[in-house]
Amino acid sequence: MIEILNVNKSFKNTDVLTDVNLTIQDNEVFGLVGPSGVGKSTLLNCLIGLEKYQSGSICIDGVRLEELNELKIRKFRKNMGMIFQNFSLIGRKDIFHNISLPMECWNYSKTDIKNRVEELAELIGIQDKLKNRPSELSGGQKQRVAIARALTMNPRYLLCDECTSSLDPKSTSSILELLKSLQEQFQITIIVVTHEMAVVQNLCNKMAILESGKVSLSGDVQEIFKEKPEQLRTLLGEDERMVSITLDVAELAKVKEYLDTQGTNYKITGGY
């Protein structure tokens, strides 16, 4: 379980996260959404100990990250598989060595590495690409490699930063299917940062919206999409709909009366 308690994070003079509070339970597929620049990637980086925060606490499975030294953070990071916003594969290494990287850093034996990479490549469906370079793969295949690499250390958590945003709809849905099946097979808790609401709706069971450095809404995905609160409508771009009609004064009064009975927020602009 991940508990984020009153976390504040700023870069020099820029406040990015202000009093962020969130709880992510085991086995959830948690969607984190919000406008560009709001601090989603920064929050993920705090969760894996790549960024320090000025105050507050992040508690993962009972361990407070701010209390760990560098070595302990490195060890702790084995629990956290991360897929970065830009694939971050190494161009001069083949796919095998891109996947094996974390195991090499931890000095696993050659046999263990070979077995694990081959097992993962088969699971993810890239077994015929192990000798290729990243530049020879499609976007969807690169993303599979990034997922395989994130899974090498058997993490309890998988953090995906915009892992489908550069993919076409078909590759997106195959990556979503893959993530769903990984979650079901290995009971990994998945956190997905995305600006694609369809991804949240298809993949996640819980979600939070970040707005102006704060969590403006969090809860159950089904319920939030059913109730469509203002925070969600804003993200969906449905917050303002303009209708242009010509009415006489009596008709206008009737329309206003109707809108008021519906509890609709509206603004009347225009002239006579």
Chain positions contacting ligand ATP, by CB under 6 A = 11, 16, 34, 36-42, 85, 195
State the nearest-atom distance from the C-beta of 268 to Mg ion, in Å. Answer: 38
Rounded to 5 degrees, φ, ψ at 50 are -85, -25
What is the Cα–Cα distance from 4 to 21, expressed in whole angstroms?
A: 5
What is the Cα–Cα distance from 181 to 248, expressed in whole angstroms?
A: 59
Nearer to Mg ion, 41 or 152 (CB): 41
State the nearest-atom distance from the C-beta of 85 to Mg ion, in Å. Answer: 5
Nearer to Mg ion, 84 or 108 (CB): 84
Nearer to ligand ATP, 153 or 215 (CB): 215
Nearer to Mg ion, 152 or 164 (CB): 164
Nearer to ligand ATP, 40 or 206 (CB): 40
What is the Cα–Cα distance from 271 to 118, expressed in whole angstroms?
A: 70
Contact 191, 159 (CB under 8 A): yes
Q: Which of 24, 41, 45, 89 is close enough to bind Mg ion by CB under 5 A?
A: 41
State the nearest-atom distance from the C-beta of 195 to Mg ion, in Å. Answer: 9
Tokens for 176, please give them. 């979503």
Residues 159-178 binding Mg ion (CB under 5 A) are: none
Q: Using CB distances below 5 to 8 A depending on partner kind, what does residue 140 bind out of ligand ATP, Mg ion, none?
A: none
State the nearest-atom distance from the C-beta of 17 to ligand ATP, in Å. Answer: 8
**DSSP H helices in the chain:** 40-47, 70-76, 95-105, 110-124, 139-151, 169-186, 197-203, 221-227, 230-236, 249-262
Nearer to ligand ATP, 114 or 195 (CB): 195
Contact 43, 33 (CB under 8 A): no
Query: Residue 147, exposed/middle/buried by CB under 10 A (0-12, 13-18, 19+)?
Result: buried
Residue nearest to Mg ion (CB): 41
State the nearest-atom distance from the C-beta of 18 to Mg ion, in Å. Answer: 18
Contact 13, 209 (CB under 8 A): no
Interaction of residue 45 with Mg ion, rule CB under 5 A: no
Report the sign of the C-alpha dihedral through residues 16, 21, 25, 28, in that order. Answer: negative
Q: Using CB distances below 5 to 8 A depending on partner kind, what does residue 16 bind out of Mg ion, ligand ATP, none?
A: ligand ATP
Binding stretches for Mg ion (CB under 5 A): 41
